[in-house]
């Protein structure tokens, strides 16, 4: 199956390892990602939109590019997904604004494209059972806490393809890969998002709540699908022990990294060196 792919700027830069793993892992299960011939910034942060017309222009451009290439566009960046999905819905449901927007970006776009998160495609188009069949090295004994953040869940009516309060698609994928997902209550709690810039101490405490809860449930690692969450959960651990005595750090993976490993792919380009908390000791101990 071929699908248009929008990498977005994060996966093109700091998240390159995530991107490499996504492309390799999806290819291995028969999902061929065709990168959009031309693409620009998704516009980032839909909720911050003040001037609708102007802010919608960037994602609309991306959607038009996607339309010219196929019926579905996917992305692995949850923020890009959120922005594209909601912009597309807005365009579909607001004929007047749509007309103005089209005039502005000089296009004829009605919202024909279907925007799907990569995890959504893996779950519904490929199927986790099919993924499981391709597993070469099951992630045996790896207890993971799956962390979803908010971008693929909220607002539920606009973006969610999973239960917004008790999501399970990542957990199910991890189970398919042979890992043991742990149940803990903060899978969808806020990671602090951009407060990491303006109020890192707030983000740190939010991250602590999440990690602590994951550890209580017995997790050895966290796995996520969101680049910003990955950054916050990973980076904010550096100074954690200063504020929370006895805090034990937890590696934070992208799901695609673990997927690539389980599928027995070459994982050398997965950006391991970019992790703030070294993931290698854990992987070594598990023989991965």
Partner 1 sequence: MKRIGIFVCHCGTNIAGTIDIARVIEEIQKFPEVVCALDYKYMCSDPGQQLIRDHIRDDKLDALIVAACSPAMHETTFRKTAATAGVNPYQTEIANIREQSSWVHQKQREAATNKAIETIRTIVAKVHYNQSLVPFYLPLVKRALVIGGGIAGMQAALDIADAGYPVVLVEQSSGLGGRMGQLSGIYLNFEAAPDLLSQTIEAVTHHPNIQVLTNAEVTQVGGYVGNFTVHVEQRTPEPPEPASATGVVPGNPVSYSFDIGAIVVATGYDLYRKERLGEYGGGRYPDVIDGLQFEAMLRRDGPTGGLIRRPSDGRIPKEVVWVQCAGSRDPELHMPYCSKVCCMYVAKQAMLYKRQVPEGQATVFYIDIRSQGKGYEEFVQRAMTEHDVLYVRGKASKVFQEDGRVKVWGVDTLTGLPVEVEADLVVLATATVARSDAQELGQRLRISMDEHGFFNEAHPKLRPVESLTAGVFLAGAAQFPKDIPETVAQASAAASKVLSLFSQRQMVQEPTIAYVDPEICSGCGLCIPACPYEARTMHEWRHIAVVNAALCQGCGACTVVCPNKACQVRNLTPVQILAMMEAYL
The residues that touch partner 1, with contacts defined as CB under 8 A, are 155-156, 163-166, 184-186, 189, 213, 216-217
Query: CB-wise, 30 or 155, nearer to partner 1?
Result: 155
Query: CB-wise, 99 or 165, nearer to partner 1?
Result: 165
Q: How far is the CB of 49 from partner 1 (least distance, A)?
A: 18
CB 42 within 8 A of CB 80: yes
User: What is d(CA 223, CA 147) in angstroms, rounded to the nearest whole number?
Assistant: 6
Q: How many CA atoms lie within 13 A of 1 on its CB side?
A: 17
Query: CB-wise, 170 or 283, nearer to partner 1?
Result: 170
Query: CB-wise, 41 or 216, nearer to partner 1?
Result: 216
| Closest to 116 in 3D by CA, of 160, 174, 57 | 160
Q: How far is the CB of 166 from partner 1 (least distance, A)?
A: 6
Query: CB-wise, 199 or 216, nearer to partner 1?
Result: 216
What is the side-by-side strand order in the sheet with 72-75?
Answer: 32-35, 2-5, 72-75, 114-117
Q: How far is the CB of 170 from partner 1 (least distance, A)?
A: 17
Q: How far is the CB of 163 from partner 1 (least distance, A)?
A: 6
Query: What's the chain's length in residues?
Result: 288
Q: How far is the CB of 218 from partner 1 (least distance, A)?
A: 11
User: What is d(CA 122, CA 138) in angstroms, rounded to the nearest whole number?
Assistant: 18
User: What is d(CA 18, CA 43) in angstroms, rounded to the nearest whole number?
Assistant: 20
What is the side-by-side strand order in the sheet with 221-224?
Answer: 180-181, 143-147, 221-224, 252-254
Determine whether 8 is exposed, middle or buried from the number of CB atoms within 10 Å of its CB (0-12, 13-18, 19+): buried
Q: How far is the CB of 110 from partner 1 (least distance, A)?
A: 27
Query: CB-wise, 138 or 164, nearer to partner 1?
Result: 164
User: What is d(CA 47, CA 271) in angstroms, rounded to the nearest whole number?
Assistant: 30
Secondary structure string (H, E, C) spanning 106-165: CCCCCCCCEEEEHHHHHHHHHCHHHHHHCCCCCCCCCEEEEECCCCCCCCHHHHCCCCCC
Q: How far is the CB of 144 from partner 1 (least distance, A)?
A: 17
Query: CB-wise, 99 or 163, nearer to partner 1?
Result: 163
């Amino acid at each position: 199956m071929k699908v248009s792919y929008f990498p977005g700027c994060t996966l093109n830069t700091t998240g390159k390892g995530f991107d490499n793993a996504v492309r390799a892992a999806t290819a291995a299960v028969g999902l061929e990602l065709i990168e959009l011939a031309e693409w620009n910034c998704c516009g980032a942060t839909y909720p911050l939109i003040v001037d609708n017309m102007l802010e919608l222009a960037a994602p609309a451009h991306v959607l038009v590019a996607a339309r010219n290439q196929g019926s579905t566009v996917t992305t692995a960046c949850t923020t890009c997904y959120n922005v594209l999905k909601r912009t597309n819905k807005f365009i579909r449901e607001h004929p007047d604004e749509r007309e103005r927007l089209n005039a502005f970006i000089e296009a004829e776009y009605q919202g024909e494209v279907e925007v799907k998160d990569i995890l959504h495609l893996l779950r519904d188009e490929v199927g986790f059972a099919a993924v499981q069949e391709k597993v070469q090295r099951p992630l045996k004994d790896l207890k993971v806490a799956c962390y979803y953040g908010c971008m693929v869940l909220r607002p539920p009516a606009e973006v969610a393809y999973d239960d917004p309060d008790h999501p399970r698609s990542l957990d199910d994928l991890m189970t398919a890969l042979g890992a043991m997902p742990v149940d803990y209550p903060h899978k969808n709690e806020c990671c602090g998002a951009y407060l990491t810039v303006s109020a890192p101490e707030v983000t740190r405490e939010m991250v602590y709540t999440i990690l602590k809860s994951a550890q209580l449930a017995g997790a050895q690692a966290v796995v996520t699908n969101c680049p910003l969450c990955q950054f916050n959960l990973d980076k904010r651990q550096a100074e954690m022990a200063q504020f929370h005595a006895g805090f034990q750090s937890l590696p934070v993976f992208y799901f695609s990294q673990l997927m690539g490993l389980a599928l027995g792919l070459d994982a050398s380009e997965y950006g391991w060196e970019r992790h703030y908390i070294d993931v290698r000791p854990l992987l070594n101990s598990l023989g991965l």
